[in-house]
Structure 1
Amino acid sequence: MHAVLRRVAVLLLAIAVPVLGLPALLPPSAQAAHVRPEAVASWGVDGPVLATAVAGNVVIVGGSFSAAVGPSGERVPRANLAAFSLRTGALLTGWRADTNGAVRALTTDGRSLWVGGSFTRIGGVARARAAKVWAHWGVVDKAFRANANAAVLALEHSGKALFLGGEFTTVAGTTLPRLARVRAATGRPAPKFRPSVNRAVQGIAVSGNRVYLAGQFTALGGQARRGVGAVARATGVLRGPAYAASVHPSFGVEVSSDGSRLLVAAGEYANALVAWDAASGAQLFRHTAMGDVQALDVQGDHVYFGFHEGFRGDTTLKVLAARISTGALDPDFRPPVDGFWGIHAITATPDALVLGGEFSRVGGVTARGWARFRP
């Protein structure tokens, strides 16, 4: 009898106190995602979606496509950038800002939308790889000029600042290899921000006085940082620890709402969603997919992460949700996604979850290039 009681006590202790680095075993109700696991039917596009953003009731998708596609197969020309109603999923026919090259990054403050990629024209206006448009109308803001000399792969808006990451070496005529801070209104570079990054930046997240980075790099500020690291918001000088067992390439980075946890979409050599203690660099948990983890976003205590190929032998899985505080996967949010290349972009808001990628169906719903989920 005493042996049985001891075994029960040990089991209860194991459930109550998860081991560092392992997912906690919580009841499903404590793990539930903030949206339903069923996608809602929408218009789509005829090519890959590589970036997504939500501004109020407007969903903007960017990528490499030539048309928006309606539920009955009707096609409306849209070159690499399109906008849809978050409420109904319908194409916003009055919103148009075509580009002549792929769109790789989007960020918004709810009113303005900043666009990054490999284009040199947007909405009929010459802009080299970075532009600003009005989020609800698609009109190019002609005051913003942050022309980059090579692809912009990441954007993050924060207050009056806009951070750009990518393959470029100059922005607005200023030498800023692969990472820049500019004025969000004009694109003018900040004079004191002079980082040192040796290879491409592919993800940016701002928290407090730090700018967290993910990418192809192996060094920041002359010190070893493999695909994950942080710099000072004001100056670009290296800050924070080396993150344990980090790898390059990494494709995206987010920070928990309290700033304590760093979450990264890691590719090739890890194929994982990885969480670290932001201050110490200690790894907290890791979920390994069958292919690159290509995108992530945070909403409340959930991190949504997307990947290609599949997860733990299930090739229908391309997106999952995990609790940031425990690492526990949501057992109910497992929408099946067709195709191989899966999810390239995720935007999570209190009102919705938007996925972008290379797929045509999510669950039983036709979803060409992007999908939306509601609470």
Structure 2
Amino acid sequence: MDMVARTKAQGGRLCLAAAVALVAVLSLLTAGSAVAAYSNTADAGTWGANGRVRAIARSGNRVYIGGDFTAVRSPSGSLRTAIRIAALNATTGAVDTGFTASLDGSVYALEVGPDGTVYAGGFFDNVNGTRHPKVVALSPTGAVLSSFNITADLPVRALELHAGELYMGGSFMKIFKGSQGVARSRLAAIKVPAATVDATWQPKVNKHVRALRKSRDSDHMYVGGDFTTVTGGNPQFALASFSLSNGAWESAFDPTVRADPAFCGNGCVMDLATSVDGSRVFAAVGGKSPGNALLAVSSSNGGTLWDLVGDGDFQAVAVQGNWVYAGGHFMSVARDTRRAKFITVRADDSKGAYVDEFRPTVNSSLG
């Protein structure tokens, strides 16, 4: 199965994208970061989907989901057409009918701007019947915003919005503004809302980018994927850091990702998160053992702090407070079958200690 492109933990709910017919939106019972405050069961009123959910983004009381689905499903089982993107009410979990859009290919990444603009990246070529390949901006009602005339030649798999720039990662080799194309090697930054390609931010990698995560101090962009070299042909496998200001490769950040690149069919590094204090980077790793791990590295130099190896891909990771949440295809971690598909770990622990108070059961792989 393919990866979950994004996870978000925001505002009192933990949201993870699930494989088929399930959106696991798990409610906080009380405010705060205590893991015991989460329920192990999904809200009764939460709607699901009839296909994979690959991306989630929250804006106020609205949660946007994107993926492969063609309909969302009510708790009673009734279906409502939703072609690869939909909005849910963050409080009730019900579908929000004030947003409607249709895309002809999978959505892999979502971001929402402070003005409510929804940015979507993926494998699509047409949005609401209008040609707009691989990346699009939508209004809060789902209308295509023609002022954002940015497209790409190949899929956009990851998005990160920061300080008036939309950072994009994926498989693309060229970004277009209207009909004018500029070369970009799987990473690019777009100034918004002006919709101009940032000429100064030009990092390069040689294979797919699947995850982007800004550092907490906003100085660095962590990049995850399947690549083996970065800017200048320098060797760097699957996880790298680039300057957020000018795109320069930061060689001091030199993590070891133990996945075998020959077995990264779903992806080597599929998702990224950072600790609240910014000292740690967490990576969801696939690609056969000794990959298939939740990896924690130092944000200063990439040194391994711990890695928890499972028997299947880790495809999603999110941080809230002092807790790290991860989901994937695994049925055990370190041969412990109690850690199936979903684990919770203390973010500040020296060995990645499990937290057993929050261990939901899902009926399909996460990813």
User: Shorter-chain TM-score category?
Assistant: 0.7 to 0.9
CA contact (8 A) 1:154 1:202 kept: yes
What residue identity is the alignment partner of 2:292? N
CA contact (8 A) 1:64 1:102 kept: yes
1:92: which partner in 2? Answer: 96
2:312: which partner in 1? Answer: 291
1:231-246 equivalences in 2 (<5 Å): 231-239=242-250, 240-246=252-258
Tell me which of 111, 119, 124 is aligned to 1:114: 119
CA pair 140-33 structure 1, distance change in 2 beyond 3 A? farther
What residue identity is the alignment partner of 1:242? D
2:340: which partner in 1? Answer: 317
Tell me which of 181, 197, 204 is aligned to 2:212: 204
2: CA distance between counterparts of 1:300 and 1:112?
27
2:228: which partner in 1? Answer: 218
1: CA distance between counterparts of 2:36 and 2:228?
34
Residue 31 of structure 1 and its aligned partner are, at CA, apart by 7.1
What residue identity is the alignment partner of 1:118? F
Tell me which of 127, 132, 140 is aligned to 1:127: 132
What residue identity is the alignment partner of 2:281? L
With the length of structure 1 as denominator, give the TM-score of the two structures. 0.79
Residue 186 of structure 1 and its aligned partner are, at CA, apart by 3.7
Residue 126 of structure 1 and its aligned partner are, at CA, apart by 2.4
Unpaired runs of at least 5, structure 1: 1-29, 345-375
CA pair 34-229 structure 1, distance change in 2 beyond 3 A? farther
CA contact (8 A) 1:316 1:338 kept: no
CA contact (8 A) 2:314 2:328 kept: yes
2: CA distance between counterparts of 1:53 and 1:257?
19
2: CA distance between counterparts of 1:234 and 1:217?
22
CA pair 86-168 structure 1, distance change in 2 beyond 3 A? same
Unpaired runs of at least 5, structure 2: 1-32, 262-267
* Residue-by-residue CA offset, 1:67-102 (whole Å, 9 max, x unaligned): 112222222111111111111111112311110111
1:38: which partner in 2? Answer: 41
Report the secondary structure of 1:325's partner residue: coil
Residue 149 of structure 1 and its aligned partner are, at CA, apart by 0.3
2: CA distance between counterparts of 1:191 and 1:228?
23
Identity %: 30
1:278 aligns with 2:282: no
What residue identity is the alignment partner of 2:58? V
2:287: which partner in 1? Answer: 268
With the length of structure 2 as denominator, give the TM-score of the two structures. 0.81
What residue identity is the alignment partner of 1:197? V
| CA-based RMSD | 1.9
2: CA distance between counterparts of 1:282 and 1:33?
30
Tell me which of 253, 257, 276 is aligned to 2:276: 257
1:180 aligns with 2:218: no
1:154-165 equivalences in 2 (<5 Å): 154-165=158-169
Residue 34 of structure 1 and its aligned partner are, at CA, apart by 5.3
2:175: which partner in 1? Answer: 171
CA contact (8 A) 2:150 2:195 kept: yes
CA contact (8 A) 1:317 1:334 kept: no
2: CA distance between counterparts of 1:108 and 1:212?
20
CA contact (8 A) 1:227 1:246 kept: no
Query: Using CA pairs below 8 Å that are at least 6 residues apart, which structure has the higher relative contact order?
Result: 1
CA pair 322-75 structure 1, distance change in 2 beyond 3 A? same
CA contact (8 A) 1:205 1:253 kept: yes
CA contact (8 A) 1:33 1:321 kept: no
CA pair 31-314 structure 1, distance change in 2 beyond 3 A? farther
1: CA distance between counterparts of 2:205 and 2:195?
20
2: CA distance between counterparts of 1:182 and 1:144?
10
What residue identity is the alignment partner of 1:174? V
2: CA distance between counterparts of 1:260 and 1:73?
44
Structure with larger Rg: 1
2: CA distance between counterparts of 1:128 and 1:90?
30
